A and B are shown apart, each in its own frame.
Chain A
Amino acid sequence: MKNGVLGEDLKRCRRLLVSVALILSAGIASGDENPRDPYEGFNRTMYSVNDALDTVALKPVAKAYDTVVPLSMKAGTGNFFGNAGDLWIGANSALQGKLGDAGIDMARLLINSTVGIFGLFDVASELGLEKHEEDFGQTMAVWGVSDGPYFFWPFIGPRTLRDTAGWFADSYVDPVWSASRRSIAVRNSLVALRFVDIRASLLPADKIVDEAALDKYAYIRDAYLQRRRNQIYDGRPPRLDD
C-alpha cells in the first residue's frame, strides 16, 4: 500500500524534473549574469507568473482571511501547524548534531500537543522553550552541501537547488500531507489553510517590498538568500567582507 503511494510520488517527481530540465535548457544564460542566479531568465518568467496568480487569486483570499478571522483563531492556526512541524524540526536539529535543541523541540511537541490542546496554544514558548527553525535544506547545508543555483518555482517560490531537494524531503515527511492516508478532503483543506495562513502572515511585508525595491524580483531573491544563510547559522552568520 505504502509502496503504491511512493511509486506514484516518484513518477510525479520524475515528470516534473524532466519538464524543468527542458525549460532550463531552453534558457541559455547571457554574458553578465549573476553567478548565484544563472537561470535568471527562467526565474523571472516564473516570478511574473506567480506574481500574477498571487494578485488575482491568493492575495485576495489571504486578505479576506486576515480581515475576517479573529486574531486568536489566526494564532491558533499558526500554532497548530507550528506544532505539527516540531517533530521534523527536532529530527533536523538532531541530524545537525544540536542535541540540546532537539530535546527542546521534543519537549515542545509533548507540551503543546497535550497542555496546549493539539497544538492550538504554544504553551511551551511561554515556558521559555524557544521554537527553532530547521528543515532538511539547512541540515544538508550543515553537512556541507552548497546552495547550488537559485530558482524561482511556480507555487513554492524561491529555493536554491539544495533547498529544493530539502523541500521535497520536508514535504514527504510533512504530517499535514500525510493526512491523505486518511482523507484527501481533510488533507487538501489543511494544506490550503496552511498556505493561506502563511500568505496572510506575509501581507505586511508586501507593502515594504513594493516600496523599498528598485527591482522586486532581485530584492526578493537577495532577501531570500540572506535569510537562508541566517537560518543555516541559527541567527549568527559570520560576517561577509565587503
Chain B
Amino acid sequence: MKKLLASLFVGLVATAAFAEEAPDVLVNKITDEVLEIVRKDKDIQSGNTRKAVELVDTKVLPHFNFQHMTALAVGKEWRKATPPQQQQLIVEFKTLLVRTYSNALTGYKNQKIVFKPFKMNPGDTDVLVRTEVLQPGAKPVQLDYSLEKLEGGWKVYDVNVAGISLVTNYRDQFTQEIRNGGMDGLIQTVAAKNKSLESTLVKVDK
C-alpha cells in the first residue's frame, strides 16, 4: 500500500513537472521532433510545402501565441482595432507566417541546431531561448525564441533569425497599410497576399 502511494505520488510529481516544462526544454523538444520528421520525409525535403505546413500546424502552432505576435507586429494601432478586426488579422497573419516559414523547412539540408546555455530566475515569465543553426560550409545563424508563461504553459511570441524579428519586421509595412486603408485595408492586403501564395501552391500540386 505504501509502495503504491509512493509510486502514485511520484507519478503526480512527474505530471506536474511535465506541465511546468522549462521553456528551453520545450523548444528543444519541439525542434527535435520536427527535424526528426523532416529528416525522414522525402516529400518535405523535395519542396512539398503543403506537407510542411501540415507538420507546422500540428507540431509547432500549439506552442505559439499568435494574438501576442499579431499585436506586436501591428504596434500601437492594435488597441484601436475592434475585436472582430483583431481576430481576422490574427487569422490572416498566422496563415502568412506559417506558410512562409514552413517553406524554410523544405530547404532543410542536415543543419544542426545547437542550444546555447540557458538561465532563468524562478519567477521569470518572459524569457529568451537562444539557439544557433550550424550548416556545413556556412556561418552559423543565430536563431532565438522569445517565450512567455501563460496559463497553458510557455508560448513563443517572437522568433529572431540573425537578429531579425520575424514579427516586428512587419511593423513598418503594417503601419503603412493602416495609414493607406485603415485596419480593414491591412486585413485585406494580408488576405490577398495569402491568396496569391495559395494559388502558387496549387500550381505546384499539379
Chain A residues near B (Cβ < 8 Å): 32, 34, 71-72, 74-75, 78-79, 82, 131, 201, 204, 207-208, 211-215, 218-219, 221-223, 226-227, 229-231, 235, 237, 242
B57 within 8 A of A: no
Q: Chain A contacts of B101 at CB under 8 A?
A: 208, 212
B169 adjacent to chain A (CB < 8 Å): yes
- Docked complex Cα distance between A158 and B10 (Å): 58
Name the distance in Å between B80's Cβ and chain A's nearest Cβ.
15
Chain A residues within an 8 Å CB radius of B177: 214
B172 interfacial contact with A, CB 8 Å: yes
Verify B162–A230 contact, CB threshold 8 A: yes
The one of B96, B100, B171 in contact with A222, judged by C-beta atoms closer than 8 angstroms, is: B171
Q: Is B99 an interface residue (CB 8 A)?
A: yes
* A223 touches which of B76, B137, B169 (Cβ 8 Å): B169
What is the interface of chain A mostly: helix, strand, loop, or mixed? helix
Interface membership of chain B positions 115-137, coded 1 if the CB is closer than 8 angstroms to chain A and 0 otherwise: 00000000000000000000011
Residue B165 is within 8 A (CB to CB) of chain A in the complex:
yes
Give which listed residue, A71, A208, A231, A237, contacts B100 with CB less than 8 A.
A208
Chain B interface, DSSP helix/strand/loop, else mixed: helix
Contact of B176 among A82, A218, A227 (CB under 8 A): A218
Query: Is the C-beta of B65 less than 8 angstroms from some C-beta in chain A?
Result: no
Task: Assess the B138–A201 pair: CB atoms within 8 A.
Answer: yes
A71 near B165: Cβ-Cβ < 8 Å: no
- The residue in chain B whose Cβ has the minimal distance to the Cβ of A233 is B163
Binds A, one of B16-24, B83-91, B189-197: B189-197
Closest A residue to B197 by CB, please name it.
A211
Closest A residue to B126 by beta carbon equals: A239
Point out the residues of chain B lying under 8 angstroms from A72, CB to CB.
137
CB pair B99–A226 under 8 Å, yes or no, is no
Cβ contact within 8 Å between B165 and A212? no
Q: Give the residue name and chain of the A residue nearest to B177 (CB).
A: A214
CB of A71 within 8 A of CB of B136, answer yes
Name the distance in Å between B100's Cβ and chain A's nearest Cβ.
Answer: 4
Interface membership of chain B positions 79-110, coded 1 if the CB is closer than 8 angstroms to chain A and 0 otherwise: 00000000000000000110111011001000
Q: 6 closest pairs, A vs B, by CB?
A: A230-B163, A75-B137, A212-B100, A211-B100, A214-B173, A226-B164
Q: Could you tell me if B173 and A227 are in contact, using CB atoms closer than 8 angstroms?
A: no
Known contacts A131-B139, A208-B103, A213 near B173 by CB under 8 Å: yes
Chain B positions 149 through 187: 1 when the CB is less than 8 Å from some CB of chain A, otherwise 0: 000000000000011111011111110110100000000
| A226 neighbours in B (Cβ, 8 Å) | 163-165, 168-169
Contacts of A213 in B (CB 8 A): 173
- Check: B72 CB closer than 8 A to any chain A CB: yes
CA distance A227 to B142 in the complex (A): 11
Judge whether A227 and B162 touch: CB under 8 Å: yes
CA distance A219 to B163 in the complex (A): 14
With A204-B107, A208-B100, A214-B190 in contact, is A223–B172 under 8 Å at CB? Answer: no
CA distance in complex: A45, B136 (Å): 37
B99, B162, B169, B197: the one within 8 Å of A219 (CB): B169
Residues of A within 8 A of B170 (CB): 214
Q: List 25 A-B contacts (CB under 8 A).
A: A32-B179, A72-B137, A78-B138, A201-B138, A204-B104, A204-B107, A207-B107, A208-B103, A212-B96, A214-B170, A214-B173, A214-B177, A218-B173, A218-B176, A219-B173, A222-B171, A222-B172, A222-B173, A227-B163, A229-B163, A230-B162, A230-B163, A231-B163, A235-B142, A237-B163
